Amino acid sequence: MARYLDDAHRHDIAQLHRTFTVRSEWPTWLLLIGFYASWAAVIFGAASLGKAASVAVLVPLLVLWMSLQHECIHGHPTRSARLNACLAYLPFALWYPYPLYRDSHLAHHNEHTLTVPGLDPESRYVTAQRWAEAGPFARWLLWANKTLAGRLMLGVFTSLAALLSDDILPALKGRQGQQRVWLIHLLLVAVILYCVQRFSALSALEYVGYVSLPALAITLIRSFSEHRPATDPAHRTILNESRGLLSCLFLHLNLHLVHHDLPRLPWYCLPGVYRARRLCWIARNDGYVVSGYTALLRRHFSRPIDSLDTPASSPSKPLAGKA
């Protein structure tokens, strides 16, 4: 559901949706075609490229792919959810089946349960019960994941462990719909790794270790500060004003409040819509703004960004305040 700043803002967004660029979605089509062509060129046509160069190209490509999958989930580049799923289904990044990602992410967009553990599938917070049941090592992991250093070095493994416990194991225990999703996913992963092993400069194992895992780690930088505990749902989502390479690879999702308020707005419109009413957006989320990822790195490399709980679980003052 779209949230507008005021009636004039509603009118401006409606006008934007009538433009040729948004109606045709040519920027998203161009990126999709460019991704497929670039990945195929590295894998099938550039064995002589060498391992280092292949990795240097493929890692940002996979980060971009995960951002493109997110765009397809939100109704781009076509109005057909089925066609968008076909465009984004292949698991180049290996880990998450598209239907699983789609369903959990759309549930995450419920602003009333945003950040609430047990209700928000993408919450980085824990309930008081989970904290009480956690052992010393689990508690250390939870706190480490609240630092940017911990997120980069450990976040991949904690995320994949959660995927195993929350999705893979339940599917193995008899959820037939999920079993079908995972079977298709694993077959497609096998095809991709076979192509990598057979045709590229990398082995399948090197693709996993040198390409897929680092790409996932970089993507976790974006989610590190996207949300915070707050009683008002509008105050829970960040505005990260980064304009660098990461912003481009994340398709401007660093302007996260704009995306949450206007989830059907395509990625290439987010910066302009934000700049047009910047002070209004900042007022809306109570000043939860950061100048870029470098600022986050300086401030929270080894310092937790906030607490592990939310006002909806057990009240606690965030350790780091605003990012």
Average pLDDT over residues 38-65: 92
Confidence of residue 184 (pLDDT cuts 50, 70, 90): very high
2 neighbors 261 (Cβ within 8 angstroms): yes
Q: What are the residue boundaries of the structural domains of the chain, listed by start?
A: 7-300
| Biggest alpha carbon–alpha carbon distance for the chain | 57
* Mean pLDDT, all residues of the chain: 90
Can you say whether the dihedral through the CA atoms of 41, 43, 45, 50 is positive or negative? Answer: positive
Average pLDDT over residues 223-227: 91
Q: No. of H helices and E strands in the chain?
A: 18, 2
Asked if the model's pLDDT at residue 314 lies above 70, the reply is no
Confidence of residue 138 (pLDDT cuts 50, 70, 90): confident
The pLDDT tens digits of the residues spanning 238-295 come to 999 999 999 999 999 999 999 999 999 999 999 999 999 999 999 999 999 999 999 9
pLDDT > 90 fraction of the chain, expressed in percent and rounded:
70
Residue predicted with more confidence, 117 or 188: 188
pLDDT at 164: 85
Q: Which of 23-32, 101-110, 132-141, 294-303 has the lowest mean pLDDT?
A: 132-141
pLDDT at 317: 34
Distance CA 192, CA 183 (A): 14
Can you say whether the dihedral through the CA atoms of 85, 88, 90, 93 is positive or negative? Answer: negative
Residue 309 φ then ψ, to 5° = -115, 175
Asked if the model's pLDDT at residue 313 lies above 60, the reply is no
Confidence of residue 133 (pLDDT cuts 50, 70, 90): confident
